[in-house]
A and B are shown apart, each in its own frame.
With several copies, the nearest count.
Chain A
Amino acid sequence: MRKISYREAIRETLWEAMEADERVFTLGQDIEYGGVYGITRGFYDRFGPNRVINTTLAETAITGAAMGAALEGLRPIAEIQFADFITPAMDQIVNMIGKYHYRTHIPVPLVIRTPAGAIVTAHGSTGPLHSQSPEAWFAHAPGLKIVVPSNAFDAKGLLFTAIDDPNPVLFFEQKRLYNDKMDVPGGRYGIPFGQLRVARTGLDLTVVTYGSMVPVVLNAVQQIAAHGIETEVLDLRTLVPLDRQGIIKSVQKTGKVLIVHEANRTCGFGAEVAALISEYAFEYLDAPIRRLTPPDIPVPSARHLAEAYLPNVNDVIQAIQQLNRY
């Protein structure tokens, strides 16, 4: 099988979806020339100005227009240039798009793709306004499905499903995974929503994570396995719908839980996972539920600050060791 990157997997899925279904089109800022992360490079030449639409610098126009086109039978895929810039569309997304089916029973089939999370390079991180992970806000807003793929294979399968789904789907691409390569089948396949992936099995404890933190966690648990600690790693894949059973099942087995995510701590999705476990797997718990997340501060720009901010492999190892000792 071919090895392709997370970025390429997303690009290929969009391309194949647009080839397969005339109703699918994409709109967003600067996507004509390929977009800032190059996801739509070449699309304009292939699909032309009616299916690859450069919008104005206006996130409410982008998402609102996507909804209007969806109501009239198209399958829009909107790009928000950075997840940080989803806030100007907050009203449109949570109040108009998210509540529409409940209020009217009319489906709103659309996908909003957006690159989320921080990248750290020689120039420091992407900073306070190009690095955020705002997915939890939308979990606290009924009617929106939320996808956060952690690898190229999932990105492809989940994006196909997102495009097929008759509901609005927020698809949070993880910038720092864009270049990560793996085996990805050609052609169309869907990964169902609401089914977590057991990324590694283990009996000693469970790490619940998703998105950018999955590779970090896997790296850590692999190292720690050498010390005889066998960690089960759950990659949630979709936050809404959430695979509650999958989480509970694992905790029932291991009795110890560490939750890891890149988003800020307070009211992050980890809080929901902890609440869920402490309500429905309480009797199986052998230790406090730990969360490993950045602190409640904006993402700092300078490299040393950004590195201190983001959970890294050592942080995960330490947290697991502590929990294991408990």
Chain B
Amino acid sequence: MKTKTSILEPLSAVDNLNLYTQMVRMRRIEERAEQLFRENRTVGRVYTGRGQEAISVGAAYALNPDDGLAPLYREMGAHLVRGVTPREIFCQYMGRKNSATQGRDSGLHIGDPHRHLVSMISSLTASLPVAVGMGLSYQIRGQQRVAMTFLGDGATSTGSAHEGLNFAATRKIPVVFVCSNNQWSLSTPSHQQHGLARLAGRGTGYGMASVQVDGNDVRAVYYAAAEAVVRARHGKGPTFIEAVTMRMAGHSVTDPAVYIPKTMTQQWQEKDPLHCFQTQLCAEGLLTAEKIEQIELEIREEIDDAVRFAEESPLMPTDELTTGVFAEFHGSTNAKN
């Protein structure tokens, strides 16, 4: 899949198909991961971004491959756009070698320096100030690069999110903050996390550009992100994007989410970002039933291959248990003692 040539032009037909395909990949990979969890074949719980595919894919699509990226646990799409392969992903889910953490950590905690990808930790939002530091490093060296990081509505309450957001705003550090407001943080509704009518107002409170966007509309998300990326790249500082959506599953695969009113989920079901985008693309003549089938087929094969590959990949040997706490260091020059 080739990435977009210029962020300043409207999305082409190819872009639209790319976006669609990545969203389908995200949905199908996560469905398979859930299934593997139920079969006791994963390491760790599985958390999905079901219903939030448009945010994850659309926002990341606005980045260059050398931009910094610090996603959270529901941002499968951002990983896919950055080029993380299903093989790596399933090795990671299944705790195998050939993955980022090889069973030492689990889930989407994938880091890769070559992809400028930060491995999140569960502690929210420890990776947000890290993304700000990536942006700072670009600013220091005068590089026209940008960092993007994601946070949930609940995560906006943490001190670490604040410290990162405020530091970025103060120095106009090139960062794009994508806040997936999916109405819930675990069992807690958004109105118990903040006192704002629109969470986008939080960004304004830091003096940074701030925008609310329909998080179920991948193109709206993309254009908002593209604008933010251009702004950051040109030294105009960070942006806070509130992408409004809904968490269409439990907090994790084991959570039946009894606390969410059924009607709420039903209403949002009609706004399913994948379905909506599919309908639009068909109406626009960019997608056909045939093409849809073909995409699904290719993805299924890709996933089958990845799961097989993961299953054939070795576990980390137990005798490596205590290795790698530190990076190896071969000593300073001119050591005196």
Asked whether any CB of A lies within 8 Å of a CB of B in the complex, the reply is yes
Enumerate chain A interface residues (CB-CB to B < 8 A): 25, 27, 29-30, 32-33, 36, 50-51, 53-61, 63-74, 76, 84-85, 87-88, 91-92, 95-96, 99-107, 109, 122-124, 127-130, 142-143, 145, 157, 160-161, 164-167, 185, 188-193, 195, 197, 295-298, 300-305, 308-309
Check A301 against B105 for contact (C-beta < 8 Å).
yes
Check B318 against A304 for contact (C-beta < 8 Å).
yes
Which residue of chain A has its CB nearest to the CB of B45? A123
Which residue of chain A has its CB nearest to the CB of B164? A61
Residues of A within 8 A of B334 (CB): 188-190
Q: Shortest Cβ distance from A71 into chain B, in angstroms?
A: 6
Contact residue among B109, B141, B326 (Cβ-Cβ distance under 8 Å from A101): B326
> How far apart are the CA atoms of A298 and B104 in the complex, in Å?
8
Check B104 against A102 for contact (C-beta < 8 Å).
yes
> How far apart are the CA atoms of A117 and B166 in the complex, in Å?
30
> Does B81 sit at the interface, judged by CB under 8 A?
no
Check B126 against A58 for contact (C-beta < 8 Å).
no
> Does B279 sit at the interface, judged by CB under 8 A?
no
Which DSSP category, helix, strand, loop or mixed, fits chain B's interface? Answer: loop
Q: Shortest Cβ distance from B131 into chain A, in angstroms?
A: 6
Check B123 against A95 for contact (C-beta < 8 Å).
yes
Q: Shortest Cβ distance from B333 into chain A, in angstroms?
A: 7
Given known A54-B188, A123-B42, A123-B44, contact A71–B134 (CB-CB < 8 A): yes
Check A60 against B159 for contact (C-beta < 8 Å).
yes
Residues of A within 8 A of B185 (CB): 57
Enumerate chain B interface residues (CB-CB to A < 8 A): 37, 40, 42-45, 68, 70, 95, 100-106, 109, 111-113, 116, 118-119, 121-124, 126-141, 147, 154-155, 157-160, 162-164, 166-167, 170-171, 185-188, 192-194, 258-259, 315-316, 318, 321-322, 324-329, 331-337
Which residue of chain A has its CB nearest to the CB of B329? A165
What are 5 A-B residue pairs whose CB atoms fall within 8 Å in the complex? Answer: A53-B171, A64-B130, A189-B336, A297-B321, A302-B316
Which residue of chain A has its CB nearest to the CB of B192? A54
Check B121 against A95 for contact (C-beta < 8 Å).
yes
Contact residue among B68, B132, B171, B333 (Cβ-Cβ distance under 8 Å from A64): B132
Check A68 against B186 for contact (C-beta < 8 Å).
no
Which residue of chain B has its CB nearest to the CB of A153? B336
Check B42 against A66 for contact (C-beta < 8 Å).
no
Given known A127-B106, A192-B331, contact A105–B155 (CB-CB < 8 A): no
Given known A57-B157, A61-B167, A191-B337, contact A74–B326 (CB-CB < 8 A): no
> How far apart are the CA atoms of A69 and B325 in the complex, in Å?
20
Check A106 against B336 for contact (C-beta < 8 Å).
no
Check B327 against A68 for contact (C-beta < 8 Å).
no
Residues of A within 8 A of B134 (CB): 68-69, 71-72
Given known A56-B163, A95-B126, A302-B103, contact A127–B44 (CB-CB < 8 A): yes
> How far apart are the CA atoms of A165 and B326 in the complex, in Å?
10
Check B113 against A68 for contact (C-beta < 8 Å).
no
Which residue of chain B has its CB nearest to the CB of A87? B123
Residues of A within 8 A of B137 (CB): 68-69, 72-74
Residues of A within 8 A of B101 (CB): 103-104, 301
Contact residue among A59, A160, A192, A298 (Cβ-Cβ distance under 8 Å from B337): A192
> How far apart are the CA atoms of A309 and B336 in the complex, in Å?
36
Residues of B within 8 A of A301 (CB): 43-44, 95, 101, 103-106
> How far apart are the CA atoms of A92 and B118 in the complex, in Å?
14
Given known A191-B337, A301-B104, contact A58–B321 (CB-CB < 8 A): no
Q: Shortest Cβ distance from A165 into chain B, in angstroms?
A: 5
Contact residue among A30, A96, A197, A309 (Cβ-Cβ distance under 8 Å from B127): A96
Which residue of chain A has its CB nearest to the CB of B145? A72
Q: Shortest Cβ distance from A55 into chain B, in angstroms?
A: 6
Contact residue among A56, A129, A143 (Cβ-Cβ distance under 8 Å from B326): A143
> How far apart are the CA atoms of A121 and B68 in the complex, in Å?
35
Q: Shortest Cβ distance from A121 into chain B, in angstroms?
A: 9
Which residue of chain B has its CB nearest to the CB of A32? B187
Which residue of chain A has its CB nearest to the CB of B46? A123
Which residue of chain A has its CB nearest to the CB of B253? A123
Which residue of chain A has its CB nearest to the CB of B257? A33
Check A61 against B337 for contact (C-beta < 8 Å).
no
Check B163 against A58 for contact (C-beta < 8 Å).
yes
Q: Shortest Cβ distance from B75 into chain A, in angstroms?
A: 17
Q: A29-B186, A301-B106 provided; 4 other pairs, C-beta below 8 A? A: A33-B259, A36-B186, A164-B332, A191-B336
Residue from A51, A57, A101 whose CB has the most chain B CB atoms within 10 Å: A57
> How far apart are the CA atoms of A193 and B109 in the complex, in Å?
31
Enumerate the 6 nearest inter-chain pairs by beta-carbon distance, A residue then B residue, closest first: A68-B133, A64-B129, A190-B332, A302-B103, A65-B133, A129-B122
Check B109 against A56 for contact (C-beta < 8 Å).
no
Which residue of chain A has its CB nearest to the CB of B68? A72
Residues of B within 8 A of A27 (CB): 136
> How far apart are the CA atoms of A103 and B102 in the complex, in Å?
8
Which residue of chain A has its CB nearest to the CB of B318? A308
Which residue of chain A has its CB nearest to the CB of B101? A103
Check A104 against B119 for contact (C-beta < 8 Å).
yes
Residue from B157, B171, B193, B327 whose CB has the most chain A CB atoms within 10 Å: B327
Contact residue among A64, A99, A124, A143 (Cβ-Cβ distance under 8 Å from B163): A64
> How far apart are the CA atoms of A67 and B147 in the complex, in Å?
14
Check A166 against B327 for contact (C-beta < 8 Å).
yes
Which residue of chain A has its CB nearest to the CB of B193? A56
Check B130 against A57 for contact (C-beta < 8 Å).
no
> How far apart are the CA atoms of A305 and B106 in the complex, in Å?
12
Contact residue among A71, A128, A191, A309 (Cβ-Cβ distance under 8 Å from B121): A128
Which residue of chain A has its CB nearest to the CB of B129? A64
Residues of A within 8 A of B40 (CB): 122-123
Residues of B within 8 A of A185 (CB): 336
